[in-house]
Amino acid sequence: MAGYFKKMYHSISTVLTGLGITIKYGINPKTEVTQQYPEVKREPPEGFRGKLFVDINICTGCTACARICPVDAITLKTVRDENKKLRPVLFDIDNARCIYCGLCVEACPVDNCLYFEKKYEFSAYSKEDLISHFGLGEVKPAESKTEDKKTEAGKEGKEAAQ
């Protein structure tokens, strides 16, 4: 019989303790931790692994990134321009395949060439739209024209990335 009441007391007291904790949260609006996402956007910290970006003008076309990528998200095609330098004419990163592991960024031998942007909102309506194209397109042998082309393509690439 004593056990019967003891059990009852134990149940009631622990239930009341629990209720005490929840009501503290229930009546205090300051405890809310939700961020209202589309209105309040959190700033990702330095080194956030968001969308990949390639500064195509300084890319040497060494293909280290494409080779290290474990999921083959990077498609690279290089040709030699008239200075015998390798130029990436095609540089596609499939954001749908990429797992944001960071191996390519670490593999890239050129500083600030391939890096993660802090961007994390890039949903699209079709899979194709998720591929960012950074490639230079055609590389013409003529020096001056190549220069023009490069900057243009670079711009395009940036736009595509946005």
Partner 1 sequence: MTNADEKFMQVNMGPQHPSTHGVLRLLVTTDGEVLSGVKPYIGYLHRALEKIAERVTYPQFSPFTDRLDYLASMNCNLAYAMTVEKLLNIEVPRRAQILRVIMAELNRISSHLIAFGSFSSDMGAFTPFLFGIREREFINDLFEIACGARLTYNYIRIGGVSKDIPGGFIEKTREFLDYFPAKIKEYNELLSYNAIFIKRLANIAVISPDDAFDYGITGPNLRASGIKWDLRREEPYLIYNELDFDIPVGKGEMGKTGDAWDRYMMRIYEMEQSAKIVRQCLDLLAPGDYTAKVSKVLKPPAGEVYVRAENPRGELGFYLISDGSTKPYRLKIRAPSFANLSIIPKLARGVMIADLVAIIGSLDIILPEIDR
Partner 2 sequence: MTELINRILSGMSPTMPLTRLLITILIMVVSAAIVLAVSLLYEGFATYAERKVAGDIQARIGPNRVGPYGLLQFVADGVKLLLKEDIIPFYADRWLFIIAPYIVFTVSFAAFVPLSYSDHVSIANLNVGVLYMIAISSVVSMAILMGAWGSNNKWSLFGGMRAVAQIVSYEIPIVLSLLAAIIIPASLSMRDIIAYQSGGLGIFRWLVFNNPFTLIAFFVYFIAAIAEVNRTPFDIPEAESEIVAGYHTEYTGMRFAFFFMAEYGDMFVVSAIAATLFLGGWQIPFIGGIPMPVWLREVLQVGVFFTKVFLLIYVMMWIRWTLPRLRVDQLMELCWKYLTPIALFNLIGASVWVLLLHDRGVYDIIARVFTR
DSSP string for 112-148: TTEEE-S------SSGGGGEEE-------SSHHHHHH
**Identified binder of partner 2 from the candidate list 1, 34, 37, 126, rule CB under 8 A:** 34
73: helix, coil or strand? coil
Residue 45 binds: one of partner 2, partner 1, ligand SF4, none (C-beta under 5 to 8 A by kind) = partner 1
> Which of the ranges 17-25, 84-92, 93-101, 149-157 carries the binding residues for partner 2, by CB under 8 A?
17-25
Measure the CA–CA gap between 117 and 135, rounded to whole angstroms: 18
Binding mask 60-99 for partner 1 (x = CB under 8 A): --------xxx----------------------------x
For residue 36, what are the contacts with CB-CB under 8 A and spacing of at least 6? none
Residue 110 binds: one of partner 1, ligand SF4, partner 2, none (C-beta under 5 to 8 A by kind) = ligand SF4
**Binding residues vs partner 1 (CB under 8 A):** 7, 10-11, 14-15, 17-18, 21-22, 33, 44-49, 68-70, 99-103, 106-107, 116
**Binding residues vs partner 2 (CB under 8 A):** 8, 15, 18-19, 21-23, 25-27, 29, 31-34, 36
**Binding residues vs ligand SF4 (CB under 6 A):** 52, 54, 59-65, 68-69, 71, 73-74, 76, 93, 98-104, 107-108, 110, 113-114
